[in-house]
Amino acid sequence: MCLSALNPNTRAIVPGAPKVQQTTELQRPLQIPIHPQLLTLRTSQPTLEHHGTGYDLTNSVFSPDGRNFQVEYAVKAVENGGTSIGIRCKDGVVLAVEKIITSKLLKAGANKRIATIDRHVGAVSSGLVPDGRHFVSRARDEAASWRSTYKTPITTKDLASRMGGYLQAYTLYSSVRPFGITAIVAGWDSELELPVDGQVGSGPSIGSGGKVEGMTFGGPGLYMIEPSGMYWGYYGAATGKGRQTAKAELEKLDLAALKLSLQDGVKEAAKIIYVAHADNKDKEFELEMTWISNLDGPTKGRHQEVPKDILEEAENLAKKYLEGEDDEETKDDDKPAEGDKMEE
Amino acid sequence: MNHLPQAWGRPRDDIYGAYDSSYLQSHGPNQHTQQPIVTGTSVVALKFKDGVIIAADNLASYGSLARFTDVKRLRTFADTSVVGFGGDVSDMQYLDRLLTSLDTEEAYSSSGHTLNAHNLHTYLSKVFYKRRSDFNPLWNQILVAGLDGESKPFLASADLLGTTFSSPSLATGFGAHLAQPLLRKVAPDEEAAAKLSKEQALEAVKESMKVLFYRDARSLDNYSIAVITKDGIDLKENEKLEKQSWAFADQIRGYGTQIN
Amino acid sequence: MFRNNYDNDSVTFSPQGRIFQVEYASEAVKQGSVVVGIVSKTHAVLVALKRNAEELSSYQKKVIAIDEHLGLALAGLASDARVLSNFMKQQSLSSRLTYGRAIPVERLVSSIGDRAQTNTQHYGKRPYGVGLLVAGVDETGPHLFEFQPSGMTQEMAACAIGARSQMARTYLERNLEKFGACGREELVVHGLKALKESLAQDKELTVENCSVGVVGLGKGGKGLEGFKLFDGQEVKQWVDLVAEGAEEKEGEGEDEGMEVDS
């Protein structure tokens, strides 16, 4: 049994219960972009009227007005989870999550919530934590199977597409429930023309060798995948309890211009998590951050934890920013304190 | 086992007689790999005080044709171990990808700990054994160099049959015949290897590579060499053999056309 | 029969995004007798309260050794725990066979977490009705993990699950700062004291109803002190230390010691 695990031919992707076939892009079932939130704008929130009608008791069943309530309820699980965000910067991507401390007995600094999918891709999710782990496990399998097929790392975009398809499949059958998470996937696709995995030589030493001058590759990627299976690419993404506040903060950054540096992105990310948490002050939290820089940057294209010193610096700035917001009116109180210091 | 990868894993003709190919039928049971195609020759390695040195030339031969001259046969794993491959190059590429996926899986956890050279050797030997038991061998002999769980120098061999062994110095292919005795002279046992300086070990390995280039027709004077210590891997992939002296060549008798 | 329409199976979300079947499974954990786990810089211990069905029956097994370097304690459905622990034994053995390496504790715990999650997303399955505390040592030191029926796994500094475990948790929270520097003996005693907090009024700790599991780094922080399970007379040494009366003396002694140190 153990040895069969060694044979890569039998290292099959572990599928979830629904028979999701490994299909190509074209064969994939059409994704019908029903945005749960858009739909709830049109119709009323699920209220008592739906209870007893039975349309909200089973997954994959449409109600007479075209809604899949079980997917909408899954979104509710997301909305109760800790805030997760991602920021796409010019030279990298950063992920951050607000980890609510549910017990004093938890080991501090352990229990990482942002996972490495492949060397260059990370993912974080808000909602049911075990569902998030299922997502990560599948995403890792997708990335590995992509590598074994194409001998090259999966792009962030392709991974988002594969995972969108996977989550969508969990809305199709009454034998499963949708994922109770919204996931943010961040990656840096190498800006160099990559060697094929396992390549041994460097090709012909004369002639173009199939290379095209001036061609550009890769860059930052950021995608958010919802329980419905729907996904979009983002400049800045936020989900979980504090998503509204976080989105408002993200919008201030003009991320579409792609001018924000990764170093500044880390500081902004910490600030946004702290600001978003301010609405939920009674609970303590831990900030976890990871990043992926370009090949010249601090992580050399790999998904890694933000180093402790940089994380602490960003957290201190975030705290200072929050204090500043609180003390706006009480500035006069600070002045004597400064005066004291100068006397010393 | 002799220096010809083609002969590895076969019953020796001089003992068992030539293989009766009438048993081979085009229809019938599945046939897997029967012989390597593009091959690399020797890998040599030597332990020293602080780590291990491993070297292999950059040639991939197609039979007797020197087909590819820039093939890097030392593959690194997680900045802590080096695997040197002799034998079939496409099987080496397959194993290299296997190591990449293993490295990726190890990086899922951010603890910073990964498989050491000893773990890696155990794993690869099981892969070889599984494949030979399926009658579908990966046609290689490999050397795994790095540090073990106690951060001591580690060096061991595994091959297409799943055979494993370990020694302060190791060499595959032709090197097992020509380089191994030279390396044993500087490091006859573990105690001796533990006293070797990096410079002494480097000199012994480079000398072995030179002798192999003199006498192995499937070798090249372009080679890769790696020094693995607790500080990491120092890998050079485009070294040239220095101070070659072919003066001995005109003393050789018994090959080719000779006048006297 | 049901409290509402949304709690019939584990593939139905309630309008609030809850999965009642999973929440009910966590209730099964609270039916089991209490188990406590604590970790220090050098050791991880598990302490469990065993129950017997009746006077003449044997006591239930609460602590299971998985491998040389780890073991677990369970609260809830013991048969579910056996399924999970058998799987863990296979995984541990497989790691030793293929890599010659003891499996990292977090990886093993995640693997049962992933298994449990599957049971909460597919019709016809039920969530596991057991909670586990997994204690082990690997390359990164001693660890303690909690496993829940939802598939949630968390690394803890100390933890208690099972019936009336809130009182034990309160004890652990109060003494949390002390645990890091504890040796194995002190850690076991803390575990038993926490366990005692959760006892029903007419019950006390005896050699019959206590199980202790210990694993840690070897002497001088090198190597491994393998997972060892203590039962019956083997736990007398510790049970006596926390027995009624002995405790007072013990407590005074400790306080004095502390003062001298500072």
pLDDT digits (tens, 9 = 90+) for B41-85: 999 999 999 999 999 999 999 999 999 999 999 999 998 999 999
Kindly report, residue by residue over A128-181, the tens digit of the pLDDT.
Answer: 999 999 999 999 999 999 999 999 999 999 999 999 999 999 999 999 999 999
Residues in chain C closer than 8 A to B119 (CB atoms)? 99-101
Q: Give the A:C interface size as CB pairs under 8 Å.
A: 119
Residue B111 in this model has a pLDDT that exceeds 80: yes
B68 touches chain A (CB under 8 A): yes
Verify whether the Cβ–Cβ distance B97 to A200 is below 8 Å: no
What residue segments make up the domains of chain B, in order of their start? 38-241
| Beta-strand runs (E) in chain A | 84-89, 92-100, 115-118, 121-127, 181-189, 219-225, 231-233, 236-239, 285-293, 303-305
| Ramachandran assignment for B49, one of left (phi > 0), alpha (psi -120 to 50 degrees), beta (any other) | alpha
- What is the per-residue pLDDT for B33? 74
> Are A116 and B68 a contacting pair at CB < 8 A?
no
Chains touching B (3+ CB pairs < 8 Å): A, C
Residues of chain B contacting residue C140, judged by C-beta atoms under 8 Å apart: 111, 113
* Mean pLDDT, rounded, of chain B: 92
- Among C101, C143, C224, pick the best mutation site for testing chain B contact (most B Cβ within 10 A): C101
Tell whether the model's pLDDT for residue A327 goes beyond 80.
no
Q: How many CB atoms lie within 10 A of CB B237?
A: 15
A241 exposed, middle or buried (CB, 10 Å; 0-12, 13-18, 19+)? buried
Q: What is the CA radius of gyration of chain C?
A: 19
Cβ contacts (< 8 Å) between B89 and chain A: which residues? 200
Residue in chain B closest to A145 (alpha carbons) equals B101
Give me the mean pLDDT over the B239-243 stretch: 95
Look at A34-48, A228-242, C34-48 and tell me which has the smallest mean pLDDT: A34-48
> Which band of pLDDT confidence, cut at 50, 70 and 90, is reported for residue B7?
confident
A31 pLDDT tier (thresholds 50, 70, 90): very low
* Parallel, antiparallel or unpaired: strands B51-57 and B43-47: antiparallel
Return the CA Rg of chain B. Answer: 19
* Spatial distance between the Cα atoms of C7 and C217, rounded to a whole number of angstroms: 45
Q: Which chain C residues have a beta carbon less than 8 Å from that of B109?
A: 104, 106-107
B211: left (phi over 0), alpha (psi -120 to 50) or beta: alpha
Q: Which residue has the tokens 């572990």?
A: A14
Q: What are phi and psi of C108, to 5 degrees?
A: -65, -45
Q: What are the backbone dihedrals phi and psi of residue A109, each rounded to the nearest 5 degrees, phi first?
A: 80, -10
Residue C106 in contact with partner chain B when CB distance is under 8 A: yes
Q: Nearest CB to A111: which of C11, C90, C155?
A: C155
pLDDT at residue A208, as a whole number: 65
Which of C11, C94, C147, C171 to mutate to test binding with chain A, by most A CBs within 10 Å of its CB? Answer: C11
Cβ B53 vs Cβ B207: under 8 Å: no
Inter-residue contact C122 to A134 (CB < 8 Å): no
Point out the residue among B109, B118, B126 whose CB comes nearest to the CB of C104. Answer: B109
Residue B113 to residue C140, Cβ atoms within 8 A: yes
Which B residues in the span 74-93 are in contact with A, Cβ-Cβ below 8 Å?
Answer: 89, 92-93
Helix, coil or strand: residue C130: strand
Fill in the DSSP letter of residue A189.
E
Interface test with B, best of A135, A196, A199, A200 (most B CBs within 10 A): A200
| Model confidence pLDDT, tens digit, residues B99-109 | 999 999 999 99
As a whole number of angstroms, the distance between CA B16 and CA B10 comes to 10
**Residue C245's pLDDT is what?**
66
CA distance B199 to B230: 17
ipTM of the complex in this document: 0.91
pLDDT of residue B98: 97
Across the interface, of A116, A200, A205, the residue whose CB is closest to B71 is A200
The domain segmentation of chain A, as residue ranges, is 69-329
Partners of C231 in the β-ladder = C211
Report the pLDDT value the prediction gives residue C252, as an integer from 0 to 100.
44
The answer to whether the CB atoms of A201 and B72 lie below 8 A apart is yes
Q: Is C222 on the interface with B (CB under 8 A)?
A: no
Question: Whose CA is closest to A115, among A170, A183, A178?
Answer: A183
Strand order in the sheet with A92-100: A236-239, A84-89, A92-100, A285-293, A303-305
Are the Cβ atoms of C98 and B122 closer than 8 angstroms?
yes
Alpha carbon distance C258, C27 (integer Å)? 40
- Cα angle value B241/B245/B251 (rounded, 5°): 135
Is A131 in CB contact (< 8 Å) with chain C?
A: yes
CA B102 to chain C, closest CA, distance in angstroms equals 11
Paired residues of C35 in beta bridges: C48, C161
Q: DSSP per residue over C173-204, as a string?
A: HHHHHHHTT--HHHHHHHHHHHHHHTS-TT--
pTM: 0.87
Chain centroid offset of residue A283 CA: 23
Residue of chain B with shortest Cα separation from C101: B119
Nearest-CA neighbor of A15 among A224, A176, A125?
Answer: A176
Order the strands of the A231-233 sheet from edge to edge: A115-118, A121-127, A181-189, A219-225, A231-233
How close, in Å, is residue C1 to chain A by CA atoms?
A: 16
What SS3 state is found at C61? coil
| Three-class DSSP category at A61 | coil
Task: Indicate the residue of C99, C104, C106 with minimum beta-carbon distance to B122.
Answer: C99
A137, C159: Cβ pair inside 8 Å? no
Alpha helices in chain B (DSSP H): 13-16, 89-106, 117-133, 174-186, 190-193, 198-215
Q: Write down the H helix ranges in C13-150.
A: 20-31, 78-99, 105-118
Most B CBs within 10 Å, among C139, C143, C155, C222, to test the B interface? C139
Q: Could you identify the residue written with the tokens 């209870």?
A: A51
Beta bridge partners of A305: A290
Cβ contact C42:C85 at 8 Å: no
- Angle between helix C165-179 and C184-197 (nearest 10): 150
Sheet holding B222-229, edge to edge: B169-171, B43-47, B51-57, B222-229, B232-240
Q: Which residue has the tokens 């293929």?
A: C98
Give the relative orientation of helices B89-106 and B117-133 as an angle to the nearest 10 degrees: 130
A 222-261 residues with CB < 8 A to C? none
Q: Give mean pLDDT, residues B153-165.
A: 97
Beta bridge partners of A236: A87
Contact C140 B122 (CB under 8 A): no
Contact C100 B122 (CB under 8 A): yes
Q: CB-based contact (8 Å) between A152 and chain B?
A: no
C164 dihedral zone (left: phi>0; alpha: psi -120 to 50; beta): left
- The model's confidence at residue A212, banded by pLDDT at 50, 70 and 90, is confident
d(CA B131, CA B95): 12
Binned at pLDDT 50, 70 and 90, residue A124 comes out as: very high
Contact A305 B70 (CB under 8 A): no
pLDDT at A335: 44
Q: Which residues of B are catalytic?
A: 33
DSSP state of B226: E
How far apart CA A19 and CA A168 sit, in angstroms, is 13
Architecture of the domain made up of B38-241: 4-Layer Sandwich (3.60)
**CATH number of the domain at A69-329, out of 3.40.50.1110, 2.40.37.10, 1.10.540.10, 3.60.20.10?**
3.60.20.10
Set of chain C residues whose Cβ sits within 8 Å of the Cβ of A61 = none
What backbone phi and psi angles, to 5 degrees, belong to B211?
-60, -40
pLDDT in tens, A268-326: 999 999 999 998 888 999 999 999 999 999 999 999 999 999 999 999 999 999 988 77
Which residues from A are below 8 Å from B104, CB to CB?
118-119, 143-144
* Residue percentage of chain B with pLDDT more than 90: 79
Give me the residues of A, 110-139, that contact B with CB < 8 A: 112, 115-116, 118-119
Determine contact: B100 vs chain A, CB below 8 A: yes
Q: Which residues of A touch C150 (CB under 8 A)?
A: 128, 130
Collect the ranges in chain C with pLDDT lower than 70: 1-3, 245-262
Percentage of chain A modeled with pLDDT above 90: 69
Residue of chain A with shortest Cα separation from B129: A3
CB spacing of A119 vs B104 below 8 angstroms = yes
> Could you tell me the CA-to-CA distances from A308 to A109, A265, A275, C221 in Å, in that order?
11, 16, 21, 26
A30 Rama sector, left if φ>0, alpha if ψ -120 to 50, beta otherwise: beta
The answer to whether residue B171 scores a pLDDT higher than 70 is yes
Give the model's confidence band at B125: pLDDT under 50 very low, under 70 low, under 90 confident, else very high. very high
- pLDDT score at A50: 56
Q: Which long-range contacts (CB under 8 A, 24 or more apart) does A130-133 make?
A: A130/C113, A130/C114, A130/C116, A130/C117, A130/C120, A130/C150, A130/C151, A130/C152, A131/A179, A131/A180, A131/A181, A131/C117, A131/C121, A132/A181, A132/A183, A133/C110, A133/C113, A133/C114, A133/C117, A133/C151
Task: Give B26's pLDDT tier (boundaries 50, 70, 90).
Answer: low
Q: How far is B37 from chain A (nearest CA, A)?
A: 15
In angstroms, the CA B212 to CA B171 distance is: 11
Q: How far apart are CA C148 and CA C146, in angstroms?
A: 7
Task: Please indicate whether, in this complex, the C-beta atoms of C121 and A134 are within 8 angstroms of each other.
Answer: yes
List of chains touching A (3+ CB pairs within 8 A) = B, C
The closest of C35, C34, C39 to C157, measured between CA atoms, is C39
